[in-house]
Amino acid sequence: LRAQDDFNGWDINTAAFEWFYESGVSVIMPVGGQSSFYADWYRPAKGRNGTLTYKWETFLTNELPTWLAANRGQDPFGNAVVGLSMSGSAALTMAAYYPRQYKFAASLSGYLAPSQKLWPPLIDIAMQDAGGYDSFDMWGSSGSPAWKRADPMLNINRLVANRTALWVYCGNGIASDLDTGTDLGINVSAGSLETITLSTNKEFRDKYLAAGGRNAVFNFPPNGTHSWGYWGAQLQAMKPDILRLLTTPPPPPPPPLPAPGAPLPPPAPAPAPR
């Protein structure tokens, strides 16, 4: 929710670029998008610092990959998308609707049932706090098609049918040595937010398995708050899976054809009759 306009949070709070250096995988970190849920908003995004046009889904799934293909030679298909907190649900939503683009999707402490129960008002309160935005400008009234489209819980069948490789993580609100902050208020908030998020992550797991999904890692450890130390550790843990999926060597080329006029090799002998 609190994405900054100068650097991406992964770059500010982790060594993600360094972790993937010379790995064979290009790491792209979009900057900005406070309270955006990385969605295409119904209306202009009016916040305390002015009005913006939020068309993040269009940018991430169309404009950015098109530019990268034309200017950096990057394949727009078969990539991975990793999101945390508000972008956890966005990562799974994009994988659900753009399966050719994303063969791997990860949600870290994501809100996986945003259209349901108390989540719409909770999201609205959080957006008001983080920039003064209004969720009505984003997806209209709760229960609208846009809220439901952006709900990973309602997109489980798509993800299963797409055979998307998933990585879903959420802590339980209990701090550990990965909580390095000294601000008690921030630490309590991070713990509380993770606690209420965990139940929907577990519900997502149960419904995914019930729908026949068998291509996911679910990681719900006995501690973990809504903070960067855990998300960085999860990115490192999933790195082997990302590299395996995104850097699989191409199949060997077919054997060369014989030179013109060269005799063809004899056919393999037929099996002896029994």
Which residues are known catalytic residues? 85, 194, 226
Give the whole-angstrom CA distance, residue 9 versus residue 132: 20
Give the whole-angstrom CA distance, residue 53 versus residue 49: 13
List Cβ neighbours of 119 (8 Å cut-off, separation of 6 or more).
111, 113, 200
CB 170 within 8 A of CB 194: yes
Give the whole-angstrom CA distance, residue 114 versus residue 217: 21
Give the whole-angstrom CA distance, residue 261 versus residue 252: 26
Return the number of other C-beta atoms located less than 10 Å from residue 10's C-beta: 19
- Residue at token pair 């991975």: 80
For Cα atoms 172, 178, 181, give the angle at the middle one, nearest 5 degrees: 100
> What is the helix (H) or strand (E) element at residue 249, kind and residue range?
none
Q: Nearest Cα to 45, choosing from 131, 110, 119? A: 131
Positive/negative CA dihedral, 52, 54, 59, 63 = negative
List Cβ neighbours of 248 (8 Å cut-off, separation of 6 or more).
none
